[in-house]
Amino acid sequence: MDYIHLNDLEFYGFHGALPEETKLGQIFRVTITLACDLKRAGETDNLEETVNYAEVFELCKEIVEGRPYLLIEAVAEKIASSILHTYAAKVSGCRIQLVKPNPPIVGHYASVAVDITRGTL
């Protein structure tokens, strides 16, 4: 199995269970791993034989910067299901890590995150 990694994509969204999160918004970081066969793309040097990661970036951006969700779990699930639906012929599975660097939690921490895997990696 081969993989495409999109690392630390950064977007501004309005997700969260607290009113200030949906009003003020915050930065979200997303890392995506796509399981796919890259052999033909490597042999032909043809973009049509692979998954265009610029398109995946835009799909992710539309979700994270789109309608607000209460839970980052829901945002990650929407990203995963959209990727698997859009690229069903090329992607057998995906892993989504969604990081919320500055949630309104009192205390010292680097971030909070969810990490989900859908399909076969």
Task: Tell me whether residue 39 is one of the annotated catalytic residues.
Answer: no
**Does pLDDT of 89 surpass 90?**
yes
Three-state SS letters, the chain: CEEEEEEEEEEEECCCCCHHHHHHCEEEEEEEEEEECCHHHHHHCCHHHCCCHHHHHHHHHHHHCCCCCCCHHHHHHHHHHHHHHHCCCCEEEEEEEEEECCCCCCCCCCCEEEEEEEECC
Band (pLDDT 50/70/90 cuts) for residue 108 is confident
Share of the chain above pLDDT 70, in %: 100
Q: Which of 23, 61, 90, 100 is catalytic?
A: 100
- Chain-wide mean pLDDT for the chain? 96
Domains with residue ranges and CATH for the chain = 2-119 (3.30.1130.10)
Give the pLDDT confidence score for residue 54 in this predicted structure: 98
